[in-house]
Chain A
Amino acid sequence: DPKIIQKPKYLVAVTGSEKILICEQYLGHNAMYWYRQSAKKPLEFMFSYSYQKLMDNQTASSRFQPQSSKKNHLDLQITALKPDDSATYFCASSHRANTEVFFGKGTRLTVV
């Protein structure tokens, strides 16, 4: 019974298009994160949110925008997609910062 739900599991997008990756967590956690995993850079931190406020952004490009409409939601909007954005994107959460981080199963994005 997954407690962190990511949708969709697989996603194919055309270069230049825009996609939204969905994440909901049912662990009652206050901190949520996005990480990216590719063959070139395994498990790279992207964003952290605490109580729906942005804590840290390590993504150089403004094409990546997290969106938190509810406490247990943290979606990721990616605009002007590039083939280099192809990766598996993991949503994660923790009770608070610096406690155990739990990961979802990921959304595998392929940009063609």
Chain B
Amino acid sequence: QQKVQQSPESLSVPEGGMASLNCTSSDRNFQYFWWYRQHSGEGPKALMSIFSDGDKKEGRFTAHLNKASLHVSLHIRDSQPSDSALYFCAAPNYNQGKLIFGQGTKLSIKP
């Protein structure tokens, strides 16, 4: 049973545009979330984490968390071709110290 669901599966955005990625959890035990990015041929790399309701901004990236609805989103403004990658939402399982990943969103930035 997938406890972290991502949408859309793939997304194409023009260079300079805004990309919006979504993630919903079905487990209220998840208290915070991570966003990871994976470029082709590489391992995933953490972008940012979000613990509190509301927005968290880091450069061109803004995460938004709504704990009541267990929804987290990632918005990338002024998208660059280097942002083309797989993006994963992940929730930590506190008891076991593991990350539960969503199935990923493939983002393509078109020049």
Contacts and interface: CB of A to CB of B under 8 A. Distances in A.
Interface in A86-112: 90, 92, 94, 96-98, 100-106
A31 interface: yes
A92 B103 CA distance: 18
Nearest to B97: A97
B44 A56 contact: no
Interface of A: 4, 31, 33, 42-45, 48, 50, 55-56, 58, 90, 92, 94, 96-98, 100-106
Contact of B43 (A94, A97, A100, A106): A106
B97 to A, nearest CB: 3
Interface of B: 34, 41-46, 49, 86, 88, 90, 92, 94, 96-101, 103-104
Contacts of B43: 4, 90, 92, 103-106
Nearest to B6: A42
Given A42-B104, A43-B88, A100-B46, A55 B97 contact: yes
B43 to A, nearest CB: 3
